Amino acid sequence: MKKKLGYIALAVSVCLVIGFLSSFATQSSVNDWYLGLNKPSFNPPNWIFAPVWTLLYVMMGIAAGIVWAKGFYHIWVKTALYHFGFQLLLNAAWSIVFFGFRQPFWALIIILALVIMLLQTIKWFRVVSSLAALLMVPYLLWVCFATVLNYKIWELN
């Protein structure tokens, strides 16, 4: 149990660090460029994003830690964690491209790839742990919402 908590703590830390580093790109634009964009009526208030993403990064980290604790020597665990790592990189890339480079179209391409990779990650997590797969579902739902939002922002601007 202690070993499992160590994996979870490390995975949560990695996810939060990636989220923190990605936030630098976000902060560079959220108070100027982003404010001037035309947004759809369902765009949430800006204050909601940080707490939602923090919770999602924690849940993602717990899920990855549960999978990792099953033993990295298992091919299913390795496959699941490789997918997880790749989707985490896409997650960070989206923030950099959308907010840092201010390119909603290219960010849309990235977030579509992220949705596909997330579906694959959840599939592989389910092979290893049903709980880990379930912990990823809120993240998938939020990313699907973000995809629609990204599309509408691109369309309106």
How many domains would you assign to the chain?
Answer: 1
Write the DSSP symbol of residue 99.
I
Q: Which pLDDT tens digits describe the chain residue by residue (157 residues)?
A: 888 999 999 999 999 999 999 988 888 788 889 999 999 999 999 899 999 999 999 999 999 999 999 999 999 999 999 999 999 999 999 999 999 999 999 999 999 999 999 999 999 999 999 999 999 999 999 999 999 999 999 999 9
Helix (H, G, I), strand (E, B) or coil at 39: coil
| Residue-number span of the structural domain to which 80 is assigned | 2-156
CATH number at residue 114: 1.20.1260.100
User: Can you tell me the distance from the alpha carbon of 64 to that of 60, in angstroms, rounded to the nearest whole number?
Assistant: 6
